[in-house]
Amino acid sequence: MCGVFGAFSASGNPVLEEVYLGLYALQHRGQESAGVAWIDGENQIRTIKGQGLVHLALNQAELSGIPASSAIGHVRYSTAGGSGLSNVQPLAANYCRGPVAIAHNGNISNASGVRRYLENRGAIFQSTTDTEVILHLMAHQPHKTELDALVDSLRKLKGAFSLAVALKDRLVAARDPWGFRPLALGKRDDVYYISSESCALDLVGAEMIRELDPGEILVIDTDGLHSLRIPVEPRRRYLCAFEFVYFARPDSLIAGQSVYQVRKELGRRLARRSPCSGNCVTGMPDSGTIAAMGYAEESGLAYEKAIVRNRYSGRTFIEPTQRVRELGVRKKLNPIRELIKGQSLAVVDDSIVRGTTSRKMVELLRNYGASEIHMRISSPPVRFPCYYGIDTPTREELAAARSNEEALCAEIGANSLAYLTETDLVEAIGLPACEVCTACFSGSYMEDGEKYEELDI
């Protein structure tokens, strides 16, 4: 998963510090690397990129001193392409029509075919990311303006892409016709912002204007906003349900819905569907907390923060050596013994992927003296990999793909295990089922019939 952010000041104020702050608010969408790009006064593309969390990869003070009035940024969690520095986004290039830089959230399904096509026409790729095909598609249309070349390139792509693109004197935002990933537009004074999630607009003090439509290309320049469309007509929409379940921050709005309230509703529905006889409810921090509160509210059980998360972890904690790991070191989560001993607990989490975390937590709670442990999952079983931008393991590694609920309950050692249904999930989100992607639960990927432009550059 990744996050993109962009800012454009019509009156020429510097915006790179705000892009930094925006990326900071989107940190949960990618902790592997971060980068920013802008076009300088001499029409040269400039990038600053680094490995790790935003505050390690980039230098806020350095950015605040750069006079760029239009810029884009990216936080990355590698999905397509490896994790080397050449793959850190934004990707940038000077081609014959000028400078261009792209930040991309999602996964382009037909990237490898497009790449082969372009390489056979002389293209030299610098990275192994799917995103780079967009740059070369543009460069192979040297007779068109940059914007025309961009629009024509996007119609040749299949799959998920929410983009922030820096061109000379323009910032462009675009969202694939199927609407897989969110993308929001905000404004404060003379500055327009684009952001993967609305929570980053809040952080920079901007007001959210609206979300981009699927298939929309939004061009921002000193004249204001210009909305174009990718000329591809999708049969249906595929907004990712997992954004609501886990990925997005609770203080974001997606498709007009409050992620916090969707999550609480998931907990309430889970309590109705799968009640349990525990003494209290607790959530796996931080992913299960809000659904746990909904579960407690609906079930009438007491809600306790019985598992404490180390405030300073994040991705800063490397794995201890084997010797120390075997001692049972608990790096991120610590249960509070007094709240667990002798209790029957309902433990709510958002999902079970490999099953390892759940198994370890159940074991830990048993060691702390829990009498019963009832796992409650606020989404359906994850049985299929995602090809649209979330870094899921292969089918073989997915716990719910290899075991049914009963077997999995035994595997993780809980007294009971219950999931939410897909219907409950879609209803809690509040969109028609034909607009939500539930492929990781159901295996119903984007249909082959979906059209996109053939390659005939």
Annotated ligand binding at 240? The verdict is yes
Return the closest-CA partner of residue 376 out of 286, 279, 266.
266
Q: Does 255 bind its own copies (CB under 8 A)?
A: no
Q: Are 159 and 104 in contact (CB under 8 A)?
A: no
Residues serving a catalytic function are: 2
Is the distance from CB of 100 to CB of 138 less than 8 angstroms?
A: yes
Residue 349 marked ligand-binding: yes
Nearest-5° Cα angle at 295, 289 to 296: 90
In whole angstroms, what is the distance from residue 34 CA to residue 24 CA?
10
Place of tokens 């490995």: 51
Q: Considering only residues 371 through 410, tell me which ones interact with its own copies, judged by CB under 8 A.
A: none
Q: Is 231 in the site for its own copies (CB under 8 A)?
A: no
CB of residue 370 to its own copies, shortest distance in Å: 15
User: Which one of 1-9, 14-22, 213-221, 353-361 is the stretch in contact with its own copies (CB under 8 A)?
Assistant: 14-22
Sign of CA dihedral 131, 162, 204, 71: positive
AA letter at 393: P
* Among residues 249, 268, 269, 376, the one that binds its own copies under rule CB under 8 A: 249
Work out whether 293 is an interface residue with its own copies (CB under 8 A). Answer: yes
Side-chain half-sphere CA neighbours of 200 within 13 A = 32
Interface with its own copies (CB under 8 A), residue from 51, 279, 334, 415: 334
Please check whether residue 399 is in contact with residue 355, taking contact to mean a CB–CB distance below 8 angstroms.
yes
The residue within the footprint of its own copies, chosen from 11, 41, 311, 404 (CB under 8 A), is 311
Of residues 15 through 34, those in contact with its own copies by CB under 8 A are 17-18, 21, 24-25, 27-28, 31
Q: How far is the CB of 445 from its own copies (least distance, A)?
A: 29
Question: In this chain, which of 12, 320, 369, 443 binds its own copies, going by CB under 8 A?
Answer: 320
Residue from 190, 233, 286, 447 in contact with its own copies (CB under 8 A): 286
Exposed/middle/buried for 406, CB within 10 Å: 0-12, 13-18, 19+?
A: exposed
- Confirm or reject binding of residue 321 to its own copies (CB under 8 A): yes
Q: What is the Cα–Cα distance from 382 to 385, expressed in whole angstroms? A: 8
From CA 326, how far away is CA 316, in angstroms rounded? 20
Return the residues of window 86-145 that contact its own copies according to CB under 8 A: 93-96, 116, 118-126, 135-136, 139-140, 142
CB of residue 337 to its own copies, shortest distance in Å: 8
What is the 8-class DSSP label of residue 246?
A: I
Q: For residues 312 and 289, is the Cβ–Cβ distance under 8 A? A: no
Tell me: is residue 391 an annotated ligand-binding position. no
Least distance from its own copies to the Cβ atom of residue 328, Å:
4
Segment contacting its own copies by CB under 8 A, of 169-177, 219-227, 315-323, 415-423: 315-323
To the question of whether residue 440 is assigned a binding role by annotation, the answer is yes
Q: Is the Cβ–Cβ distance between 425 and 241 less than 8 Å?
A: yes
* Residue selected from 130, 176, 202, 221 as contacting its own copies according to rule CB under 8 A: 202
Q: How far is the CB of 192 from its own copies (least distance, A)?
A: 14
Nearer to its own copies, 160 or 365 (CB): 365
> Of residues 302, 410, 433, 434, which one binds its own copies by CB under 8 A?
302
Q: Which residue has the tokens 């935002």?
A: 173
**51 in contact with its own copies (CB under 8 A):** no
Q: Distance between CA atoms of 132 and 128, rounded to whole angstroms?
A: 8
Give the residue with the Cβ less far from its own copies, 323 or 449: 323
**Pair type for strands 70-76 and 253-254:** unpaired
280 belongs to an annotated ligand binding site: no
Listed as own residue / partner, the contacts of 355-360 with beta carbons closer than 8 Å and 24 or more positions apart are 355/399, 355/408, 355/411, 355/412, 357/284, 358/412, 358/414, 359/411, 359/412, 359/413
Which range binds its own copies by CB under 8 A, 213-221, 326-334, 398-406, 445-453? Answer: 326-334
Binding residues for [4Fe-4S] cluster: 240, 386, 437, 440
Question: Which positions make up the binding site for Mg(2+)?
Answer: 287, 349-350
Q: Which segments are annotated as binding site?
A: 240, 287, 349-350, 386, 437, 440
